[in-house]
Every structure is written in C-alpha cells, then in structure tokens.
Structure 1
Amino acid sequence: MPSLADLIHPVSPDRFQNEIEGRVPLHIPAEGPVADARRALLDWDTFNGLLNQSSIWTHSTLKLVHSGQPLDPEAYCSEVQSMSGPVFRPSPARVQVMAAMGATIVANDVGALTPALRDICSTLRHAWAASVAANIYCSFKGVQGFGPHYDTHDVFAVQTEGEKVWRLYRNREPDPVDYPGEGEEARRYLASACGPLMQEVRMRPGDVLYLPRGWYHDALAADGPSLHVTLSVTPLYGRILFRLLESAAMQDPAFRAWLPPAGKDEGKPLADQLADLGQRLARLTASPAFAREIAMTQERLMGRGADYRLPERPALTAYAPTGLLPPAVRGPAAVAMEWALSQPRFALEDMIAQFDFVPEADMRAAVDAAVKAGALKPVQ
C-alpha cells in the first residue's frame, strides 16, 4: 500500500483534504483490488508471528484491556530470566487466558515490525510531515475494550480480520493536545462529555475509518474475533513555536535585557519593552530562517530511515577540515556543515546518518563544494 490514494480509495486525496480532513469522520468501505491490499496489512498468521517474538514485548508495548479498564500487568506478565538478568514480560499463556475471558489485546508501536506496516507509516509520515504510530487491536465478540473516548491525533483505522462496530458520538473536543487521564473519574467524564450517538459504522475486512482528532468514539467486536490496525498521525502544532523561539530569541540581546519593575512610572517602561519584544518575536516567526527551522523539525519527525543490509557494510568516505572557509550553505544543510567543520575528521556517511532530517543530496552537494573550495580534503 504505497500511497495515500490507495489507503482512501475511491476518495481522492484532493477531496479528502478539502472536505474531510480535520472536519468529519469518513467510513471507506472495501472496494476492488485496493481493499485486498488493505486486508493484507495484517492477518492472523502475521499477528501471531509478531506475538511469538515474545522477547520484543513489554507491559508497555503489549497491553490488555477489559470492559474499558486496562488490566494490571501482574495479571498477564511474568518474570523471566534473560542473559541480562530477570525481566518482566507478557506471558503468552497468560495473555491467551485473559483473551479467553474477553480481554482486548493492544500491541503498541508496531510500525516498524513488518514491511507492510513500515510502508504505510512512511506514506502517512511524508503526506503530513508528521509522527506516525501503528497499533494493533485484537478483540472478541461482545466484550468492549475501551469506553467512549477521543484521541489527540488523527486516526486511520484499517479493519483486516473479522468485523467491528464503531460508535461515533455527536461531540468533539476542539483540537485536544492532552488527555483527561485514566481512572474511574476520567471514564465518567468521557462518558458524559461524548454526547448522543451520531452514527454506527460496521467495519469489515478492507474497510478504513478516518477520525479527526478529538472525535468521541468507541468500538465493539461484532460477531467474532476482530483484528484492526490503527494508524495515528500527529503533525506539529503551535506549541512547538515556544520551544524553538526560546533558543532563536536568545540570540537577540533584547531578550537578554532585564525587565523593569512593573510599578515604575505606572508600568509604562515595562509595557514599552514588552511591546518591543512582541514585535521582535513577530519578525522572528515571519523570517525565512525560522521557517527553515520548522521545516527541519518536521523532517526530524519523519526521519529518513534505513534498512539493515548486513553483512554488507557501507564504504566510508572521510574528510578533514583545512581551516579555509567553505562556500556559504543555505537551508538545513548549513547545520550539518557546521558540525562537519567542527570535527578533526568525519565520515560523510556518518554525517548523513546523524542528520537524517537534512536532505542527503544537499549534504553531498555542500561537501563537494567545500572540497572544491579547499575547505575540506579527503583523508584515508
């Protein structure tokens, strides 16, 4: 499933962006060959194969939920001996006993565990310049895993095995970035805040359900065991400005100056200084340099990623600075070159691996230009 168009077919990406995204839920029934690709995202054999890799799971990544409440890890985890000593891991036998009692199995952070999951996560990551996570939900007829709730990210739920009924409620939290917490008090709040039932959606293998963040919902396996993958999409939002602005603003001496007492001259000196700082912040956020900083932060969210190719090992290309000034470098590659010129010697491949939020082609071009200018020289 290499493209967003495949995931939401027959809805076009343009229509999705202009009419659906961030506005309303969308149920996309299975249709044609693309639906087969959606179903192939995860089947029972693949899921069991992942669970059988018991050493990769912890009580944080493999959770059990029953009737809206998470089960205590003591109910399904056991201490086992490993080469590094005793560890607390989910017990396959105990997990299956809990499943027989109706518990929902939630496998978190599985986006890198199969090629199909890696591909769809990469697709969504680059479509939204976002962090993308994949979770698997295995549930059983008639027992509800989670009560009414909302998510702090957009959701694409892909039904791959069995059927599940999703209930969508009328209310929506406005662009939430935090959750009310856990426990009975939080569950009562969510149950009262969700509002009346708006729609029931019966998800079948190959169906996709899109939910904007903040939309209240819950789900229940319909007639038997159900397996679905939830893809959560979390782009940057305005809060990131406060973190990035702090380091950028401190380069300006005006932000390092003392603030006058609030009571001096009826507060006028303080008001004037705050107004000046506000204008400086406005100019800073409107600058191309700050836009590049945001772009680099988005690239950090997405990452470049790389697959292992062992026993092959990359050939390393080493350079050393000569002390001469290189040509000016613009954009994110300037950060990588600043690092390179501060090293007594470095490997280009290490630079590319470290700065995975900078386009590789830009770094190679900057290094080539520095070599031609005599600022870098190849070394053995």
Structure 2
Amino acid sequence: MSVTERGSDVRPALSRCVAIATGDFADEYWGKRPLLTTARELGQDFSDLFSRDDVDELVSSRALRTPFVRMAKEGDVLPPARYTAPGGFGAEISDQVSSEKVLAEVAAGATLVLQGLHRTWPPIAEFARELAGELGHPCQVNAYITPASSRGFDPHYDVHDVFVLQIHGQKHWTIHEPVHPDPLRDQPWSDHRAAVAARASRTPAIDATFEPGDVLYLPRGWIHSATALGGISIHLTIGVAAYTRDEIVREAIVRAAESAALRSSLPLGFDPADTDALRPIVEATLADLVTALTDAAAEAATTRAVSERLSAKRRTDTPPAPLRPLATVEATAALDASTAAGLSVVLRPGLVPRVSFTEEAVIVRLPAKTVSLPLAAGPAVERMLSRNPVAVSDLPELDLDSAVVVVRRLLREGVVVVVDGG
C-alpha cells in the first residue's frame, strides 16, 4: 500500500471544524453545548472532502447497497424498494441503489442519506480517521442530500456527538436544549418522543441558515431538525461515539465482585416486596460497594481493566487505513539492496501497535496477531513506528540487507506502508 505524503500546510482535522484553540473547545464546548463556526471564521471550505458531483458518482457508478444508502421524506423513512433494484446480468442482488429511482424520489422531495462514507469515500475516510485520533473517540460519517424546501427527519436528538459540515447549498437549522442530557446508546430520542416534540415547539437555542463551509458542533442529546432552502442542500454529519464514564462504572462493578462482602447471601427469609426491611440491606451493600471500589488495589485493578477495555474497543471502532494487497505484494517483491535507497515507509495510518522486548526479540502486538523480530531490529522498528516517514537505507543499527529483511516483513504483515514517491 502507498500513502500520500502530506504537505506541511495541511491543518489538523479538528481545526477545520472549530476556529478556537483545542483546549478552549475541550473546556467550554465538548459534551456541554453547541458551537456554530462560519466558513469565514474557518477560512476554508470542504470541497476537498465531498461535493455534489461526488454524490452523483456514488449513486450512479459505485453500486452502493443498503445499508450504505437510505431515503426519507418529511420524517418518514422510505422502504428500500423505493430506491433500490437489481443491477442486471451478473449483478442481480436486489438491494443496490438505483439511480433512476433515486432521481424520482429526490425530484419528489425525498432526502437521500449516504451512510458510512468513512468506509466508502477515501478523502472522508482519511479525515474521519485523523479526527478520531485527535478526539480520542471513534467517528463515522453520513451525507444528507435534501431537495429545496424539504425536511428529511422530524426534530430528534442523537445518542452521539456530531459535527455538521455544510457542503453545498443552504440549510436552515433549529437547535433546542436537551430533554434527556447525555443519552447513552440505548436511550434513543423515541423514548422521549412527546418531550422532544414539546421542547421543539419552544424558542430554539440556535436558529440559523448554514452556508457552505459552516460547521456546527452538537453534543449528544441536543434536539435538532433542518430544512433545505432554495435548492439542493448537502451536508456531512460526523458522528462521534464518545466513550463515557459508564464504561468505567461497568468495569468497577465487575471488579467489585472480588469483594467477599459483596458476594455474601441476602438474609434468610427476606421479602423483596418489603421495602422497609430491604432498605437497610441496600444501604449496607452500597457502603460495602464504596469501600470495595475505593480500596487502592481495587482502583488500580479497575484502571487497568478500563484501559484494556477501551483500548480494545478503540481498535475495533477505528480500524486502520485499508491496505492495497497487490501493490504491497509487488513492493515487497521489488525491495532489495539496489532499490532500498529510493524507498521510504511509514506506520500504517490509524494503526496503534504495542511494542515490547524480550531477551531475544522485539514483539509488535497488533489487534489480530503478533509479529516477532530479532532484538537487533528494535531501534529500526521503533523508528518506523514513530509515525514519521523513514528511508529504508536510514534505519538505525541495521546494515542495508538486514533493513530490507525487516521492512519486507513489516510490509507483508501490514504494519508499515510505502510512502508515495518513495
């Protein structure tokens, strides 16, 4: 696989979404309140990520299937048969997006939703991967394409934070304060449908028309709806599945089972319907729970468990950049002492390997496997995993032939990739 060598003028992903310092955003807005930033404040647009022509290409030429596409009209989700069809001989699968049906539905006022663009559109995939790395939370991206004067979905809230990037046309947004702050993933807006509708009828916290290049940050739980104005509107919604303190609570409760007091039986003959008799049992149990959780050893065990849980979750939620199998095979086969001088490699974007050492080897642990290399390769491995490109001929403490052997192995294992132009 090769990656594009990025210029020094490329901005961090988060700075393309907010015009304030990262620390200020973290302290004043993250998980707390919305932030609307205009294209003028950001000094850029998002034409490098997505456009109207890109929508047409995805619908007409990429053979998208459900659930990577869906449609809605005035709050109702359309059945897939309204916009999908078989692709003809050799492609008879019936849930492929039909450009003719999409044309008819959009012309009639339906909203087109292209889901999972962080998996299907390379510029967005790279941006989402970088943003997830900066935020420390996984991201996914959908595009919403709405005809003039149409509303795709009723007022609702999401169970994840979002960044809304206006790409094309205008869209009028109304934002209302939460009725259920910081909802978890199993607490959807439909559980509070009446309260959401009532809150949406009040004066909004934000009532604005978005222009191309404008960005809205919206914490989970904030109620929103949008209507296109004057023509087709396209915006990207970057969903951020924030890890929450609930993850820590769940691990802490699991660790609490190590306490003998909390594993003891309830009293003989107790009546669970007798709340007066049950209350002191609950009080004593909660006191023992606090004791168990605040013990230094328990805190350390919980911290380790949370670290392992969230590290594994992050590796699953945010996979590394995809590999190019054929290009990698060819690059590996062509690599020798005569070609190494012109070749540079870099850690595969998005990969987070863990490196350890034994008396005889350097161990590179990946999500699904472990790669073992001779101990002498340790400095070279650490140099390649530093996230900065390095020429094969510049790897430390290895002669050129040994460097070629190590790089071949890491290319084949998908740990490093070739830098474009290398």
TM-score range, shorter chain: 0.7 to 0.9
Q: Is the partner of 2:305 in helix, strand or coil?
A: helix
Residue 149 of structure 1 contacts residue 216 of structure 1 at CA under 8 Å; is this kept in 2? yes
Taking a change above 3 Å as real, the CA distance of residues 6 and 273 of structure 1, as seen in their structure-2 partners, is closer
More displaced stretch, 41-50 vs 217-226: 41-50
Deviation at 1:8, TM superposition (A): 3.3
Are 1:66 and 2:81 matched, yes or no? Answer: no
Deviation at 1:307, TM superposition (A): 2.8
Taking a change above 3 Å as real, the CA distance of residues 302 and 47 of structure 1, as seen in their structure-2 partners, is farther
Taking a change above 3 Å as real, the CA distance of residues 180 and 161 of structure 1, as seen in their structure-2 partners, is closer
Q: Is the partner of 2:15 in helix, strand or coil?
A: helix
TM-align CA RMSD: 3.8
Taking a change above 3 Å as real, the CA distance of residues 14 and 210 of structure 1, as seen in their structure-2 partners, is same
Residue of structure 2 equivalent to 1:29: 38
1:93-131 deviation digits (Å, cap 9, x = unpaired): 111110110100011121132332123212332233212
Are 1:276 and 2:285 matched, yes or no? Answer: no
Are 1:196 and 2:196 matched, yes or no? Answer: no
Q: Distance in 2 between matches of 1:122 and 1:288?
A: 31
Given the two structures, how large is their TM-score scaled by the length of structure 1? 0.73
Are 1:305 and 2:317 matched, yes or no? Answer: no
Deviation at 1:354, TM superposition (A): 1.6
Q: Is the partner of 2:188 in helix, strand or coil?
A: coil
Residue of structure 2 equivalent to 1:320: none
Deviation at 1:171, TM superposition (A): 5.1
Deviation at 1:176, TM superposition (A): 1.7
Residue of structure 2 equivalent to 1:371: none
Q: Is the partner of 1:229 in helix, strand or coil?
A: strand
Q: Distance in 2 between matches of 1:172 and 1:7?
A: 30
Q: Distance in 2 between matches of 1:181 and 1:195?
A: 16
Residue 14 of structure 2 contacts residue 134 of structure 2 at CA under 8 Å; is this kept in 1? no
Q: 1:104 is matched by which residue type in structure 2?
A: T
Q: Is the partner of 2:63 in helix, strand or coil?
A: helix
Q: Distance in 1 between matches of 2:282 and 2:233?
A: 62
Question: For structure 1, which runs of at least 5 residues remain unmatched after alignment?
Answer: 316-331, 341-346, 357-363, 369-379
Q: Distance in 2 between matches of 1:196 and 1:285?
A: 50
Are 1:181 and 2:190 matched, yes or no? Answer: yes
Q: Is the partner of 1:163 in helix, strand or coil?
A: strand
Deviation at 1:308, TM superposition (A): 0.7
Among 135, 142, 156, the residue aligned to 1:135: 142
Among 94, 97, 109, the residue aligned to 1:102: 109
Deviation at 1:73, TM superposition (A): 1.8
Among 352, 366, 387, the residue aligned to 1:352: 366
Identity %: 24
Q: Is the partner of 1:176 in helix, strand or coil?
A: coil
Residue 167 of structure 1 contacts residue 197 of structure 1 at CA under 8 Å; is this kept in 2? no
Residue of structure 2 equivalent to 1:49: 57
Taking a change above 3 Å as real, the CA distance of residues 208 and 83 of structure 1, as seen in their structure-2 partners, is same
Are 1:6 and 2:20 matched, yes or no? Answer: no
Q: Distance in 2 between matches of 1:101 and 1:298?
A: 45
Q: Is the partner of 1:263 in helix, strand or coil?
A: coil
1:229-262 deviation digits (Å, cap 9, x = unpaired): 0111121123324543455444555555444436
Q: Is the partner of 2:26 in helix, strand or coil?
A: helix
Q: Distance in 2 between matches of 1:282 and 1:262?
A: 31
Q: Is the partner of 1:130 in helix, strand or coil?
A: coil
Among 244, 247, 261, the residue aligned to 2:251: 244
Are 1:117 and 2:124 matched, yes or no? Answer: yes
Alignment of 1:218-233 (within 5 A): 218-233=225-240
Q: Is the partner of 2:117 in helix, strand or coil?
A: coil
Taking a change above 3 Å as real, the CA distance of residues 180 and 263 of structure 1, as seen in their structure-2 partners, is same
Residue 130 of structure 1 contacts residue 298 of structure 1 at CA under 8 Å; is this kept in 2? no
Residue 156 of structure 1 contacts residue 231 of structure 1 at CA under 8 Å; is this kept in 2? yes
Taking a change above 3 Å as real, the CA distance of residues 28 and 285 of structure 1, as seen in their structure-2 partners, is farther
Residue of structure 1 equivalent to 2:388: none
Q: 2:320 is matched by which residue type in structure 1?
A: G
Residue 173 of structure 2 contacts residue 225 of structure 2 at CA under 8 Å; is this kept in 1? yes
Residue of structure 2 equivalent to 1:78: 85
Residue of structure 2 equivalent to 1:328: none
Q: Distance in 2 between matches of 1:20 and 1:73?
A: 38
Q: Distance in 2 between matches of 1:117 and 1:156?
A: 13
Q: Distance in 2 between matches of 1:273 and 1:208?
A: 48
More displaced stretch, 154-163 vs 67-76: 67-76
